[in-house]
């Protein structure tokens, strides 16, 4: 029996989105290919939740929404922003940073050799944010069951890939997102396929809306983050290996919650789990709803950037490693510098979910 494919403009999608309803069997759980403002997209649906993945723009999960409550959790690009988003998709959705953040002069030594990454931040003369966030990823599969809808994408680097010329390791990264009644789960897996030991350097530049409610105000929001110490940065935004004292608002951010835009933040912290969890909590004091971003304890560092304290969104970024980690004369565990031997796998899960709490 031939498969009937119906192109439809879904009433709950944003302007400029089109879905190809090829894999939908129930209102509770659905998955489909479609179009997101001119780009190939995989749509996931579970109950009132919806997520959108853009495999050809860095495997970026660019949208996570609750249509019944009218919540939009991630900072999505508008139609007018699509050109700049495709050129540098750093502040929308959940971009993959590999390796994350800055590396002095784009260089670091590994296995007795000096690697030279592209210097792509003119202001500092550093390499910034890696090379996987804006290139195509392969869709491995997508689908749905009675319990979840899901999509899995991957990228493989070997001697035939352009990245190999400056990052000479054979490896693959697989990202799986699943949408269920427990919110949005992310599973990331890195496997070393080569014969030489490789550095495992990863972060996510997750962009969170504040407010995430349609009629909310950022002034009603409090941010809590499981941070330990704040790293001192030099004029090139690289760690000096020393710590800085917290200001009172940072203590509030760690302990009870603080307005996310109390000051400009482009700050780096150690991650110190609380009650066994390494996470961000964003609480809407007006509605009593909290968005939880539980990232797992393998992420030893937090970066937080709030777009110059302009409001609207900010980026709590879980990082395996400290900025410029391979160049620092510090213990590997202190800077989160992991390595993978031939055939080894590193993996971790994270989850974004909503909790109704006291106002």
In the prediction, which pLDDT does 357 show? 75
In the prediction, which pLDDT does 358 show? 56
Domain 6-356 has CATH 3.40.50.970: no
pLDDT tens string 123-137? 999 999 999 999 999
In the prediction, which pLDDT does 14 show? 59
d(CA 347, CA 63): 23
Other beta carbons within 10 Å of 100: 26
Closest alpha carbon to 96 in 154, 43, 49, 39? 154
Q: Is pLDDT above 50 for 9?
A: no
In the prediction, which pLDDT does 291 show? 98
Mean pLDDT on 13-18: 62
In the prediction, which pLDDT does 87 show? 85
In the prediction, which pLDDT does 306 show? 97
pLDDT tens string 141-198? 999 999 999 999 999 999 999 999 999 999 999 999 999 999 999 999 999 999 999 9
Residue 240 tokens read as 């000096």
Task: Give the pLDDT band of residue 1 (cuts 50, 70, 90).
Answer: very low
d(CA 135, CA 54): 11
Task: Give the pLDDT band of residue 34 (cuts 50, 70, 90).
Answer: very high
pLDDT tens string 192-234? 999 999 999 999 999 999 999 999 999 999 999 999 999 999 9
In the prediction, which pLDDT does 2 show? 33
In the prediction, which pLDDT does 17 show? 73
d(CA 132, CA 147): 31
In the prediction, which pLDDT does 7 show? 30
Here the contacts of 215-219 (C-beta below 8 Å, separation 24 or greater) are 216/284, 216/286, 216/287, 217/286, 218/259, 218/260, 218/261, 218/311, 218/312, 219/259
d(CA 18, CA 39): 10
pLDDT tens string 51-64? 999 999 999 999 99
Domain segments of the chain: what residues? 6-356
Task: Give the pLDDT band of residue 15 (cuts 50, 70, 90).
Answer: low
**β-sheet bridge partners, residue 198:** 340
Instruction: Report the predicted TM-score, pTM, of the whole model to 2 decimal places.
Output: 0.92
Percent of the chain exceeding pLDDT 70 equals 92
In the prediction, which pLDDT does 27 show? 60
């Amino acid at each position: 029996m031939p498969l009937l494919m119906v192109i439809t403009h879904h009433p709950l999608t944003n302007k400029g989105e089109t879905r190809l309803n090829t894999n939908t069997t129930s209102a509770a759980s659905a998955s489909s290919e479609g179009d997101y403002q001119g780009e190939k997209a995989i749509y996931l649906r579970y109950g009132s939740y919806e997520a959108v993945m853009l495999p050809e723009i860095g495997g970026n999960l660019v949208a996570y929404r609750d249509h019944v409550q009218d919540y939009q959790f991630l900072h999505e690009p508008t139609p007018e922003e699509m050109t700049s988003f495709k050129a540098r998709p750093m502040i929308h959705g959940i971009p993959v940073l590999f390796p994350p953040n800055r590396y002095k002069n784009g260089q670091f030594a590994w296995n007795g050799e000096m690697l030279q990454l592209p210097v792509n931040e003119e202001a500092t003369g550093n390499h910034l944010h890696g090379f996987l966030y804006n290139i195509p990823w392969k869709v491995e599969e997508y689908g749905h069951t009675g319990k979840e809808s899901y999509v899995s994408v991957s990228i493989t680097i070997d001697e035939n890939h352009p990245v190999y010329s400056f990052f000479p390791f054979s490896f693959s990264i697989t990202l799986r997102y699943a949408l269920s009644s427990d919110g949005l789960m992310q599973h990331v897996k890195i496997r070393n396929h080569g014969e030489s030991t490789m550095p495992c350097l990863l972060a996510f530049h997750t962009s969170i809306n504040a407010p995430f409610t349609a009629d909310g105000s950022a002034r009603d929001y409090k941010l809590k983050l499981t941070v330990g110490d704040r790293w001192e940065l030099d004029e090139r935004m690289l760690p000096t290996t020393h710590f800085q004292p917290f200001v009172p608002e940072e203590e509030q951010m760690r302990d009870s919650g603080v307005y996310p835009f109390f000051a400009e933040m482009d700050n780096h912290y150690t991650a110190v789990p609380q009650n066994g969890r390494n996470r961000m909590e964003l609480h809407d004091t007006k509605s009593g709803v909290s968005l939880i971003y539980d990232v797992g304890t393998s992420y030893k560092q937090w970066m937080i950037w709030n777009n110059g304290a302009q409001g609207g969104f900010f980026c709590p970024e879980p990082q395996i490693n400290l900025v410029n980690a391979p160049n620092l004369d510090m213990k590997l565990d202190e800077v989160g510098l992991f390595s993978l031997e031939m055939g080894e796998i590193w993996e971790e899960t994270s989850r974004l979910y909503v909790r109704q709490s006291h106002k």
